[in-house]
Structure 1
Amino acid sequence: MKISDVKLTVVGVPRHTGFVNKHVIVEIMTDEGVTGIGEMSDFSHLPKYAVDVVDLENVLKSMLRGQNPFDLTLINNVLSENYPAVMYYYEKGSFIRNGIDAALHDLCAKYLHVSVAELLGGRYQEKIKVCYPIFRHRFVEEVEENLAVVRKRLQEGFDVFRLYVGKNVDADEAFLARVAEEFGSKVKIKSIDFSHLLDWKETLRIVKRLAKYDFEMIESPAVRNDFEGLRQFRLKVDHPVSEHVWDFRQQYEMIRHDSVDIFNISPIFIGGISAARKAAAAAEVAGKACLLGTTQELSIGTAAMAHLGSSLINLTYTSDPTGPKLYTDDIVKKPVQYEQGYLLVPDRGLPGLGMELDWERIERLRVPDLSWGNVSVHQLQDRTS
């Protein structure tokens, strides 16, 4: 079996906040009629430059045509040479590699008539506990809006939340106090996430202020790639510290400095399922726990993470992939399913990722390119309208 063609389709899908995220649907065709699908999720990130999708499609065709899709190591090596990691969280090359790698896994599993989880070595678990995000407060007036989000999602079965913090600490504290007062033990705050906005000393001052409230961990409390600062912060707090993995050199430095307790691993940021499995294995060797991170994918990207997570034995903390619940639409006929705050791994009887494209939806959501227009920086950071 050989790869015969590659097709990329750009869609713009609104979030419930009003912000429109752009994603690229990947289709990899073969000479035996099997097609794999993937997702280059959420290109609506800083840095503020766009990829030329027509050029990208032509380049990927030149790389992949004639290749055996089961040569995952070879193909990922070629992709890494052409779209290298650069020690940056939102590096667009990792988004590209992720979409291709997911489509290859989907293709190979379909050819073998197994699910991607079975291709990865089998299922350790059938569902993954996840949390719903509460986006960063800029104004105290937004506290009531976010409490309404908690009420709504709690009714849907989501009882764990993560809170983006650091822009308006008065509002952050007011929100945590109101959650404790209104919901008590019915609601859990998994993490307060600083998203690398502050240096570790300023983050430490804020954490001391918020420590009287109940939350499980602290995420991204130092500026990007400040491994020593991250270590100093970890030594001074009682909560476990989590950080995203976006580069193998970065993960090596965090292990070497003993900077974190938990690795936040997501295929989108490390460059695919193959790379995410390596990062999870490195964490396991280092004696560190994992959780699945997210950029808030659509159902294809979320299904890929569900299959990956089902095969990991050190996935011991609540994970983040609730993207399909943040959007007003999707691109597949049957989106991924959630039940009582768990992401369900697609059924074993469904080959590949278990997702089927819905072209009626896709045509409605299709956009011509990944251009930015007049979107402001704070809109990109906080996904606001």
Structure 2
Amino acid sequence: MKITDVVLTVVGVPRHTGFVNKHIIVKLLTDEGVTGIGEMSDFSHLPRYAPDVQDLTRVLKQIVVGKNPFDFELINKELLDNFPEAMYYYEKGSFIRNGIDNALHDLCAKYLGVSVSELLGGRQQDKIKVCYPIFRHRFMDEVKENVKVVRERFQQGFDEFRLYAGKNIDADEAFLAEIEKEFGSKVTIKSLDFSHLLDWKSSARAVKRLSKYNFTLVESPAYKNDFDGLRHFRFKVEHPVSEHVWSFRQQYEMIKNDSVDIFNISPVFIGGLTSARKAAAAAAIAEKSCLLGTTQELSIGTAAMAHLGCAMSNLDYTSDPTGPELYVNDVVKEKVTYENGYLIPPSRDIAGLGIELDEEKMKQYQLDDLSWSEVSVHQLQDRTSQTR
């Protein structure tokens, strides 16, 4: 079997907040008539640049057309040579590699008549506990609205939440107090996610202030690639510390410096399922736990993570992929499902990722390119249509 063509389609799908996220849907065509699909998820990030899609298509065709799709390592090496790691987790090259690697796994699993989780080594669990994100407070009057989000999502079965923290600690504390008062032990705050906004000392002071409330772990409490700072923070606080993996060099430095307890692994940030498996294996060798991170993917990218998570042996903490719940719609016939706070992977009886494109929805949300509209930095960081 040989790959004969690469088709990239830009789509823009609104979130419930009104912010429109832009993604690229990937199709890999073959001479056997089998098509693999993937997702380059969420190009709407800082830094504010995006590839030219026509040029990207030409480059990817040069890399993959004529290749055997089972040559994962060979193709990923060539992708990495052309779209190298940049020690930054919103690096667009990782998004590109992730989309192609998703599609390779979908294609090969379909050809073999097995699910992607079988291709990844088989399932060790049948569902993944996930949390719903609560976006960052910039103003005190946003607390009431975020408590309402928890109330509504709790009714839908979500009982764990991740709080983006650190911009307004007074508001963060007010939110945690309201959640404890209204829900008690019925709701868990999985993490305080500082998203590299603060230096490690400021994060440590914030955690000390907020530690009278219940939360499980702390994420990204130091500036990006500050491995010493992460280590100092980890040994200063009692909560487990998590950090994203966005390059193998960065993961090596975190292992060497004993900087974290938990590796936050997401295919979109490390460049695909092939690389994510390696990162999870490195974590296991270092005797570290893992959780699945997210950039809030659509259903294709989320399904890929569901297959990955179900095949992992060290997925020890509640994970983050709830992207399809944040969007008003999707580009597939049936979205991935959530039940009682768990992500349910597509049936292992369905070959590939278990997700089918809806061509009408693809047309509905299709865009010409990834060009930027006039949005503020705050909108990009918090994925909101608010301009204040």
Structure 1-normalised TM-score?
1.00
Deviation at 1:260, TM superposition (A): 0.2
Give the Cα separation in 2 of the matches to 1:208 and 1:65.
Answer: 54
Residue-by-residue CA offset, 1:215-270 (whole Å, 9 max, x unaligned):
00000000000000000000100000000000000000000000000000000000
Residue 172 (structure 2) aligns with = 172
Residue 362 (structure 2) aligns with = 362
Give the Cα separation in 1 of the matches to 2:256 and 2:62.
Answer: 39
Residue-by-residue CA offset, 1:20-53 (whole Å, 9 max, x unaligned):
0000000000001000000000000110111101
Deviation at 1:289, TM superposition (A): 0.2
Secondary structure in structure 2 of the residue aligned to 1:122: coil
Give the Cα separation in 2 of the matches to 1:5 and 1:46.
Answer: 30
Residue-by-residue CA offset, 1:350-382 (whole Å, 9 max, x unaligned):
110000000111111111111112111111111
Secondary structure in structure 2 of the residue aligned to 1:5: strand
Residue 253 (structure 2) aligns with = 253
Deviation at 1:62, TM superposition (A): 1.2
Deviation at 1:63, TM superposition (A): 1.1
Residue-by-residue CA offset, 1:69-105 (whole Å, 9 max, x unaligned):
0000000000000000010110000000000000000
Amino acid at match of 2:197: L
Residue 58 (structure 1) aligns with = 58
Q: How does 1:205-284 map to 2 (within 5 A)?
A: 205-284=205-284
Give the Cα separation in 1 of the matches to 2:212 and 2:367.
Answer: 46
Deviation at 1:282, TM superposition (A): 0.2
Give the Cα separation in 2 of the matches to 1:229 and 1:185.
Answer: 32
Give the Cα separation in 2 of the matches to 1:209 and 1:254.
Answer: 26
Residue 89 (structure 1) aligns with = 89
Secondary structure in structure 1 of the residue aligned to 2:10: strand
Give the Cα separation in 2 of the matches to 1:282 and 1:68.
Answer: 27
Residue 340 (structure 2) aligns with = 340
Amino acid at match of 2:2: K
Structure 2-normalised TM-score?
0.99
Residue-by-residue CA offset, 1:256-315 (whole Å, 9 max, x unaligned):
000000000000000000000000000000000000000000000000000000100100
Residue-by-residue CA offset, 1:152-181 (whole Å, 9 max, x unaligned):
100110000000011111110000000000
Paired-residue identity, %? 73
Amino acid at match of 2:248: F
Give the Cα separation in 1 of the matches to 2:216 and 2:90.
Answer: 25
Secondary structure in structure 1 of the residue aligned to 2:70: coil
Give the Cα separation in 2 of the matches to 1:273 and 1:84.
Answer: 16
Residue 114 (structure 1) aligns with = 114
Amino acid at match of 1:303: A
Residue 331 (structure 2) aligns with = 331
Give the Cα separation in 1 of the matches to 2:213 and 2:236.
Answer: 17
Give the Cα separation in 2 of the matches to 1:15 and 1:141.
Answer: 21
Secondary structure in structure 1 of the residue aligned to 2:208: helix
Give the Cα separation in 2 of the matches to 1:89 and 1:382.
Answer: 16
Residue 316 (structure 2) aligns with = 316
Give the Cα separation in 2 of the matches to 1:74 and 1:348.
Answer: 27
Give the Cα separation in 1 of the matches to 2:189 and 2:211.
Answer: 12
Residue 6 (structure 1) aligns with = 6
